[in-house]
Amino acid sequence: MAEQQAGRRAHLITGGFPPGSAAGHDHDYARLRLLTLLAEAEVPASVANDFGDIATWLPLARLLITYVDGPYPDGAQCATIERWLRAGGHWLALHGTSGGRAERVEGFRQRRTVKTEHHALLGSYFLTHPPIRRFRVEIAAEHPLTHGLGRSFEVEDEPYFVELQDPAGTQILLTADYGPDAVSPAIGTLYPRDTSLQPDGRRVIAYTRPVGAGGVTYCTLGHCHNPAIRAARAGAPADDAPPVFHGAWVSDGFLTLLRNTVALAVAAR
């Protein structure tokens, strides 16, 4: 198979929906940071704004990185990704990748994420997030991906609520307790209950799960925006974030996790 012949390459997808839309995130900043990390590791990369041409580029890569808000793979594209994962590829998914298509719900301004096949493949499903806040991330497992992280680190980011799709087959790497005031009106209305809450009262920040000979690593962190994006979201829930926000991208803990994942993925055979 072509997937088994992939070299030390990565395919990076960053973008919003509709095409050309920021969708609330500074994709240019995230793209630059991710390409810089790949360059540091001497990993060449192809770049796209959505999953449209993934069948062309994925067979050439050993690592797929996604930082998206809106774009998601359809059924055929999910099948392509799954075959590639089973042949040994690794998917590093960040932040809004656990979202996707959203539907209007009568009586609510906020939309509800529609669960599709890409959530099953990714292993998580985005529910909602309260406003940006600072919180402490705890390391939940000793793993090569968490090497060098210590026991915890602090970040300022969007506190994501994500529902695991395969808890039994998932190794949770990072968790956080956002505090009792981290609440969202979407819980109990758009979503009947908070399915992101773990038995110990914490929420998942990052995990890894095997898929055949390869696997998926997902991390909720990574929100970033600039003044133009901030102005365009004037109707969003209020928070105290500055006009230019880079959040976890200036955190050594987050960057260490990304570097570890890149190094392990491109070294795997």
As for how many domains the chain has, the answer is 1
Tell me what pLDDT residue 21 has.
87
* CA dist., res. 58 & res. 99, Å (int): 21
Of the candidate ranges 14-28, 95-109, 222-236, the one whose mean pLDDT is the lowest: 222-236
* CA dist., res. 234 & res. 243, Å (int): 11
Return all residues near 77 (Cβ < 8 A) that are at least 6 apart.
Answer: 51, 54, 55
* CA dist., res. 114 & res. 128, Å (int): 12
Q: Which domain holds residue 104?
A: 2-267
* CA dist., res. 204 & res. 175, Å (int): 5
Q: Is the dihedral of CA 35, 243, 205, 80 positive or negative?
A: negative
Residue 138 maps to which CATH number?
A: 3.40.50.880
* CA dist., res. 157 & res. 187, Å (int): 20
Tell me the pLDDT tens digit for each residue of 41-91: 999 999 999 999 999 999 999 999 999 999 999 999 999 999 999 999 999
